[in-house]
């Protein structure tokens, strides 16, 4: 496995090219601004009524409608919500693609599950930052960068890898390291990571810990600090030096509790459940459910989101965070 760094990538492959970043949300604002600061000619594509339009203009971009941006650009990066990409591609981008253009993604869902089937005479690649968009921007501004993945699905021009690495350099990813992957591997591991561990697994673990303490009669504020607030500090240590470094920093009492009680909470059933989640991703069952959920106007998404927004842990957190002046 090779990791690509700044020296492996050359921004010259983006010289004389216009990049259209479609969407100006979490990834869109970050990637567009990083590319611009790297000297790349960027336009932003949005719908006319978009609330992001004035923001992108304030940030100094030429903003065009999506069809206009796609027509003007040589490289078109689609950074709108996954579920909207197929129809925007069909209606606004595909009619404006020219042979030799490049189509770029930051997540492989639409290509991998055949929701977008691009014409054969364009390059198709993915540069996927392994980070939320706002940190893609913040770490670039700090002179760092977030790690990323590069996958090439179609190499019509014979230069898709070079162009992909140049794009990754432009958004700061080669500063931290870029690993080559496939659309299948990125899609399945990204969906699994966010569902089982990073987002779904973590929020379920935190909520279960909070409820266990509160139901046992402990103060909700103490429960919040114990299972949610301090989680960041523990994760920061794991991020910096792995599990061992984190364990070096905690008391030996905590280490012993970690070793003996962790596997009691996350037992073998959890791994079986994770395997079931992964199977639904691999078979396309999750993707089909998510597509149908959107066609039905998101009844499950909306009701589960509201339930959590109204939960006690969120109310306690809102109150406590107001007292934490250091949180921006």
Ligand X SMILES: CC[C@](O)(C(C)=O)C(=O)O
Query: Annotated catalytic sites, by residue?
Result: 107
SS3 63: strand
Binding mask 104-123 toward ligand NDP (x if CB under 6 A, else -) reads: --xx----------------
303 is in an annotated binding site: no
The single residue listed with the structure tokens 């069952």 is 285
Does 198 help bind ligand X (rule: CB under 6 A)? Answer: yes
Could you tell me if 19 and 40 are in contact, meaning their C-beta atoms sit under 8 angstroms apart? Answer: yes
Please report whether residue 174 would count as binding ligand NDP according to CB under 6 A.
no
Smallest separation, CB 106 to Mg ion (Å): 9
User: H or E stretch including 143?
Assistant: none
Please tell me whether residue 186 binds Mg ion under the rule CB under 5 A.
no
The span from the CA of 208 to the CA of 87, in Å, is 39
Q: Judged by CB under 5 A, does residue 190 bind Mg ion?
A: yes
Pick the piece of the chain touching ligand NDP (CB under 6 A) from 2-10, 127-135, 145-153, 203-211. 127-135
Distance of CA 313 to the CA centre of its chain: 25
Using CB under 6 A, which of 97, 113, 129, 137 touches ligand NDP?
129
Residues shown for the chain: 328
**Is residue 130 within 8 Å of 73, Cβ to Cβ?**
no
Q: Which of 54, 60, 100, 132 is in the footprint of ligand NDP by CB under 6 A? A: 132
The whole-angstrom separation of Cα 86 and Cα 107 is: 13
Pick from 244, 260, 118, 109: nearest CA to 189: 109
Stretch that binds ligand X, among 52-60, 90-98, 194-202, 275-283 (CB under 6 A): 194-202
Binding residues for NADP(+): 24-27, 47, 50, 52, 133
Chain residues that interact with ligand NDP, rule: CB under 6 A: 22-28, 46-47, 50-52, 66, 79-82, 84, 88, 106-107, 128-129, 132-133
């Amino acid at each position: 496995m090779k990791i690509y760094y700044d020296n492996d990538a050359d921004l010259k492959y983006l010289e004389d090219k216009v990049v259209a970043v479609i969407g100006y949300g979490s990834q869109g604002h970050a990637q567009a601004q990083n590319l611009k600061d790297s000297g790349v000619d960027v336009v932003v594509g949005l719908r006319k009524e978009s609330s992001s339009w004035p923001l992108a203009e304030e940030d100094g971009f030429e903003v065009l409608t999506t069809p206009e941006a796609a027509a003007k650009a040589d490289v078109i990066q689609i950074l709108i919500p996954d579920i909207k990409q197929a129809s925007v591609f069909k209606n606004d981008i595909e009619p404006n693609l020219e042979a030799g253009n490049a189509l770029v993604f930051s997540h492989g869902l639409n290509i991998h599950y055949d929701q977008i089937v691009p014409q054969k005479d364009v390059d198709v690649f993915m540069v996927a930052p392994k980070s939320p968009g706002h940190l893609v921007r913040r770490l670039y501004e700090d002179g760092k960068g977030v790690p990323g993945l590069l996958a090439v699905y179609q190499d019509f021009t014979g230069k898709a890898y070079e162009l992909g690495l140049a794009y990754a350099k432009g958004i700061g990813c080669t500063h931290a390291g870029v690993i080559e992957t496939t659309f299948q591997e990125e899609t399945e591991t990204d969906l699994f990571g966010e569902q089982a561990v990073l987002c779904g697994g973590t929020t379920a673990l935190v909520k279960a810990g909070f409820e266990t303490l509160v139901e046992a009669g402990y103060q909700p504020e103490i429960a919040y600090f114990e299972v949610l607030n301090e989680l960041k500090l523990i994760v920061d240590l794991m991020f910096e030096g792995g599990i061992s470094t984190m364990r070096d920093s905690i008391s030996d009492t905590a280490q012993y509790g970690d070793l003996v009680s962790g596997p009691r909470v996350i037992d073998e059933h959890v791994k079986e459940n994770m395997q079931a989640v992964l199977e639904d991703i691999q078979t396309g069952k999750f993707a089909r459910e998510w597509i149908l959920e959107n066609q039905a106007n998101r009844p499950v998404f909306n009701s589960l989101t509201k339930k959590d927004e109204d939960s006690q842990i969120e109310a306690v957190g809102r109150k406590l965070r107001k007292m934490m002046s250091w949180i921006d």
